[in-house]
Structure 1
Amino acid sequence: MDFDFAHYMLTQGRKDKENSSRYGKDYRKQLAEAMNMNRTRILAFKNKPPPPVELFPSNFSSLPQDKTANSKPQRHIPQTPETTLDAPHLIDDYYLNLLDWGSSNVIAIALADTVYLWDATDHSTSEAVTFEVEMGPVTSVSWAVDGSHIAVGLDNSEVQLWDSTTKQYLRTLRGCHRSRVGSLAWNNHILTTGGMDGRIVNNDVRIRSHIVNTYRGHEREVCGLKWSASGQQLASGGNDNLLHIWDNRSVAPSQWLHRLEDHTAAVKALAWCPFQRNLLASGGGGNDRCIKFWNTHTGACLNSVDTGSQVCALLWNMNERELLSSHGFTRNQLTLWKYPSMVRIAELTGHTSRVLHMAQSPNGCTVASAAGETLNFWNVFGDPEEVKPAPKEPFAHVNRIR
């Protein structure tokens, strides 16, 4: 008897704490018909958004923060998005991961059963792939490090790999999960998948028998996955309110390094610090509202900050000691924090519904945020630094594998 699957079937009815509504097959069929009639709206420029209501003083970006004798001049942080695109039929589901920005400066966004690509260099839009209603909707997207190949998680438990340059199908990963795949994370040639069944699977995309190992630690849906920059540690968050740290150097690779139980709601938002080794930020759902900081070497919680609302996504500034968080009710805002003091530097309020997804440009300074039916672009992290060319290794030997 498969006890993992039996437990999943018994508990799946309780999975949806962070969402107020669901989508069904009939609804998605109607959605597909509507999208066929209105594809001109997809990733089209909107009119310049109205200025946000000033709930904070105009000099909010200059609130007290850590200062030193040699501190740099305070940079200007625009309070409105520099660009806004239409993103109709973006699924309002906290547990999915539907937005990613690749190293080739192309954004992938899943809208119902279709993955669209928006080139941030020339502002062109293209359709990568549309799936049959029986397979979709798309539940996760993630670019490989080369910026040309993309992984797409589906509601039917499959993961497909595509070449975005040629729009060529490469292969399907089957047998990893028994239900939808809501989270994906790349570690060179390893694609890690997280499912509603609570399983986390490492897949070597270069070989036919792709399943390398399986992590079992979550009792409910895995909604957050992030590999550290070194590729040695994996953070996973779930709808069971658990955060796990896994170490791929462990002699028992299927056993977690740390099981962290401090959050009191689903853990979706995860971000590894780019300037401090073994530092992870995590964010909790509506009943938790906290951003927590962890030493993943020891498992110690270093700090916890109550943000006042559901934490949907987290991004570190690559060039400054800052953290950006996106939120749900009541303000649906993006908040920029100074680290480690966690003083608020700025509040960005351009969305009218919860900001479920954020993605960072390759140069590190622009952030895309998706909420409702809009995709906003914010120049929040300052001037770019030199961008290094992306490696091409992971897919050097992958053509078409079925």
Structure 2
Amino acid sequence: MSVAPHADLHRVTVHMTDHILGSLRDCKLETPLRKRRSRISITNQFSAKRQRISEAIGSIDVSAGAEQRQELADINAEPRADRFIATRPEALFPMNTTPRTNRMAKTFGLTDDRLLHFIDTTNTTPDNKMLASLRRSVSQLFYSPPVVHQTSAVAHLGKRRQFILALDGPGIPQDPWAYPLSWSSTNVIAVACGHDVYYQDLDTRQIAHLCNLPRPSLGRIRALMFEPRGLHAVLGTTTGSVQVWDAASRRRVRSWPNTDWMSISTLAWRSCSRLIAIGKADGCIALLDVRASDEAHKRRGHRGGVHATQWSHDERFLVSADAHGTIHLWDARNMSTRVGKMKHDSPVKAVAWCPWKPDLLATGGTYPDGRIHIWSTSQLANTLSPAPVETIQTHSSVYSLQWSPHSRELLSTHGFAWHTRDRLPDVPETAASPYTNSISVHAFPTCRRLVSVTAHTGTVSQSCLGPDGTMVFTICYREEAMKMWKVWGQREEAERRESSFDKFSIR
């Protein structure tokens, strides 16, 4: 009888347990899901502990639910790796998942170089930076920078890029084909201003008036040139009158009347004699001897007006160029013989003979040619129309050329520049260019442009080389001004070694 109460208590307990479990099964209330942990958390595992129920109602085994959650955790969780091992993903934030997040990240500055990107170097190939640095150091070891010679324009005009002296020339001819400027071998610069000629001694800086054309019939001075050695100056006028003046005594030495009234466009004085070559607007070339009052020779070889004449340094040839781009070479011993003919596609004013290689001749064309041709007279034995040895394309008008006597360089002065097209219009369209109104220096024989400096605000119509071969005077008729530039340097003379024969003499 004593056991019955315990048996009844056991039945009551089992009955209550079944009742509770049944009510739990019948109840369809949804249990709230556990929130997934953020992926930013330091730990990489989800908790898999078995849930416990109070002992009052017994224990309920929910191991199946735990296994299901463990599978979900294994699928979506991060790799189970230690945080100190270098195999982490590139970024924990998916910044580029949508365009909106990408825009927001760029707005707040969270992209590009503001994020620290981890780079795993454990599984990559060996870096080639060391080899690249070694190659760079070896190349720097054997690299020698280009040596700029002291006579080159790069060492002088390229560094200073400013004129040394500026002079005013009111009343100079408003004509780009005129020659109103001349520089003598005694360092005297002269300029033609209308009916007057003024000159300045650059050593003493004294300015003096040389001459004046009193009669209007004599015209205006269009061309002026000093003799190669001395202070005699020859001038030509727009009415065809030619006069020779002595700058030291300021008196007229010789004059020739204007017989045909043709404008004098260019002058060239032969240094070994008193002979002057004159180019006229009708295409005629005349030779005048200072010792005679008549013309020594007259030759009509051009169809257009002559814009340039110049004797070669060895005085074997005379070159002349005209408004049609035709260039003629004349034999100095017999002016009736033409020994060569060259051609440009535009009027030619710029001509220059090379001082250290007398057979080289440089010519430059204006619009629409814009080229600098370098010819060799040694090819005249094979043909009367040689091909240029070198060509420099500038796409700008070339008005004067000067060879350097100290280095293998060529100076050119320019006017406006134009756009490069297959067919150029009759009216030029100007364009921005380093050659515009500039003085430029080119290397020979590479023809590479070394330096360009804007000299004036208008066309640089003429240039004169100084007696020492380092200075250049330029003139601009629009500005009515002249400027002197330091372009080249003189070559240092090597010291002569004293010989043993200098110490003794034979008597």
With normalisation by structure 2, the TM-score equals: 0.60
For 2:461, the aligned partner's letter is L
For residues 237-386 of structure 1, the aligned pairs below 5 Å read 237-250=321-334, 253-261=335-343, 263-297=344-378, 298=380, 299-330=386-417, 331-371=436-476, 372=478, 373-383=480-490
Q: Secondary structure at the match of 2:336?
A: coil
For 1:349, the aligned partner's letter is T
Residues 165 and 483, structure 2, Cα contact 8 Å, conserved in 1? yes
Matched, 1:88 2:170: yes
C-alpha spacing 1:265/1:69, structure 2 compared with 1 (3 Å): closer
**CA displacement at 1:119 relative to structure 2:** 1.2
1:167-191 deviations in whole A, cap 9, x for unaligned? 1011112367541111000113101
For residues 19-38 of structure 1, the aligned pairs below 5 Å read none
Partner residue, 2:282: 197
Partner residue, 1:154: 237
Greater percentage in strand:
1
Runs (5+) with no aligned partner, structure 2: 1-143, 381-385, 418-435, 494-507
Partner residue, 2:257: 174
For 1:189, the aligned partner's letter is R
Residues 177 and 195, structure 1, Cα contact 8 Å, conserved in 2? no
For 2:489, the aligned partner's letter is G
C-alpha spacing 1:82/1:170, structure 2 compared with 1 (3 Å): same
**CA displacement at 1:71 relative to structure 2:** 6.7
Matched, 1:229 2:313: yes
Residues 173 and 194, structure 2, Cα contact 8 Å, conserved in 1? yes
C-alpha spacing 1:309/1:235, structure 2 compared with 1 (3 Å): same
**CA displacement at 1:140 relative to structure 2:** 0.3
User: Which residue, 277, 280, 292 being the options, matches 1:207?
Assistant: 292
**CA displacement at 1:345 relative to structure 2:** 1.1
* Residues in 2 aligned to 1:176 and 1:96: alpha-carbon distance in whole angstroms: 21
**CA displacement at 1:154 relative to structure 2:** 0.7
**CA displacement at 1:350 relative to structure 2:** 2.8
Q: Secondary structure at the match of 2:358?
A: coil
How many residue pairs get aligned? The number is 316
For 1:222, the aligned partner's letter is V
Partner residue, 1:142: 225
**CA displacement at 1:111 relative to structure 2:** 1.4
Runs (5+) with no aligned partner, structure 1: 1-66, 387-402
**RMSD after superposition:** 2.0
* Residues in 2 aligned to 1:127 and 1:236: alpha-carbon distance in whole angstroms: 31
**CA displacement at 1:216 relative to structure 2:** 1.8
* Residues in 1 aligned to 2:412 and 2:308: alpha-carbon distance in whole angstroms: 15
For 1:382, the aligned partner's letter is G
C-alpha spacing 1:217/1:71, structure 2 compared with 1 (3 Å): same
For residues 382-393 of structure 1, the aligned pairs below 5 Å read 382-383=489-490
With normalisation by structure 1, the TM-score equals: 0.75
Q: Secondary structure at the match of 2:255?
A: strand
Greater percentage in helix:
2
Residues 390 and 447, structure 2, Cα contact 8 Å, conserved in 1? no
- Structure of greater relative contact order (alpha carbons < 8 Å, 6+ residues apart): 1
Residue identity over aligned pairs, in percent, reads 30
C-alpha spacing 1:176/1:255, structure 2 compared with 1 (3 Å): farther
